[in-house]
Amino acid sequence: MDAAKGDSVSGQPLPPAFESYAAESLAQAPAGGPGKNGLLEATLARSGDNQTRLVRDRVNVPYHLTGTLETDPVPGLTTLIAQEPTGGVAQGDRHRLAVETRPGARAHVTTQSATKVHSMRANYAHLDATLEARAGSYLEYLPGPTIVNEDARCLQTINVNLADDAAVVVSDVLVPDGLTQHESFDFDHYLARVEAEYDGTLVCADTVDIRPDERDPRHSTSVGEYEVIGSLYVFAPGRDLQSLTDRIYDRLEADSEDGAEPAGATERDGDESGGDRPGSTLVGVSTLPHGAGVVVRILGYRQLDVTNAIRDAWDETRRERFAVGIPADRRY
């Protein structure tokens, strides 16, 4: 596909700024060309109380897939790790991931490590995920953090479609200081959008749009003094969402009071207090419209503190649904 003429996001037009970036040609290989058009499609199914199995997959470089893991403590849940041996995302890369869980299936999808978005001179990189959860299935998509380097432009889109009694858990962590010697938020543009539909109704449309040259992310209405931004979305229509919200909030508050990581301030229903030291986090927990789920937003000074808070919220989500926690292995 000619990125300058027809690039799109799940059939929708690109955001205006990225339309402009897409018109910029690349000197080496065309945007979305061979080696830059990554694809991973996977379908997982389960029969009765048996283990969930990978029944269909399709992979294009730079994605790589070596099979599934069956070590998760939740009965019947299978782990799928999307591997990218290229070591990072460059200008003009278009990476697409599509996962479907058939009725009753249980799956956890993650990446081998953080996604490193390299510095750019033209065009942009796009990371796209489509998650389809059929009736009664459970799907987690918790990739490693996205590390955005100087002058990078990154569009990240996640589209979720849920059937009756299905649940999808999604996480996203932005690390804005990259791997080179530069100030935080020295990238050009980062836009992350999460949309979810249930029974044909749009129940979530959440966007993090940071353009440091146009608006200072350090403004009090943006991230303020913090740097790392984390989000956890629990799409679970029909569940007791107030109970889940309370459990996540109480868990994070308890961690703060005990001095365990993540430490620092918590926020709930508009009440907030700020942490004033490295290691502290600011956390908000809210329910989504239409009884669709719960969203957790976390601000922190360090990646470790934010990912720890994400893990705690994820663990509480699992305990509420399965009475079983998350894997002890921190690579998940």
Burial of 34 (0-12, 13-18, 19+ CB in 10 A): exposed
CB atoms within 10 A of CB 20: 12
- Long-range Cβ pairs for the range 272-280 (8 Å, 24+): 274/224, 274/225, 275/301, 277/301, 278/302, 279/305, 280/305
**Token pair 């199914």: residue:** 45
Predicted local confidence at residue 56, as pLDDT: 96
Radius of gyration of the chain from Cα atoms? 19
Token digits for 22?
A: 């897409």
pLDDT of 180 strictly over 80: no
Q: Give mean pLDDT, residues 40-51.
A: 97
CB atoms within 10 A of CB 324: 13
Q: Give mean pLDDT, residues 281-300.
A: 92
- pTM higher than the cut 0.85: yes
Strands 68-69 and 12-13: unpaired
How does residue 274 score in pLDDT terms, banded at 50, 70 and 90?
very low
CA distance 41 to 35: 16
Q: Which of 1-10, 75-84, 245-254 has the lowest mean pLDDT?
A: 1-10
CB atoms within 10 A of CB 11: 6
pLDDT of 273 strictly over 70: no
pLDDT of 268 strictly over 70: no
Is the backbone peptide bond immediately before 62 cis, with ω within 30 degrees of 0?
A: yes
How does residue 278 score in pLDDT terms, banded at 50, 70 and 90?
low
Q: Indicate the DSSP class of residue 289.
A: G
- What tens digit of pLDDT does each residue of 107-148 get? 999 999 999 999 999 999 999 999 999 999 999 999 999 999
Cα distance from N-terminal residue to C-terminal residue, the chain:
34
Helix (H, G, I), strand (E, B) or coil at 256: helix
Distance of CA 248 to the CA centre of its chain: 18
How does residue 270 score in pLDDT terms, banded at 50, 70 and 90?
very low
Token digits for 320?
A: 């509420």
CB 286 within 8 A of CB 204: no
Sign, CA dihedral 135-10-202-232, equals: positive
CA distance 244 to 293: 9
- What tens digit of pLDDT does each residue of 10-34 get? 556 789 999 999 989 887 776 767 6
Strands (E), 211-292: 228-235, 267-268, 281-287
How does residue 88 score in pLDDT terms, banded at 50, 70 and 90?
confident
Q: For residue 25, is it left (φ>0), alpha (ψ between -120 and 50) or beta?
A: beta
pLDDT of 238 strictly over 80: yes
Q: By percentage, how much of the chain surpasses pLDDT 90? A: 67
Angle (deg, nearest 10), helices 241-258 and 303-322: 140
Token digits for 259?
A: 């001095």
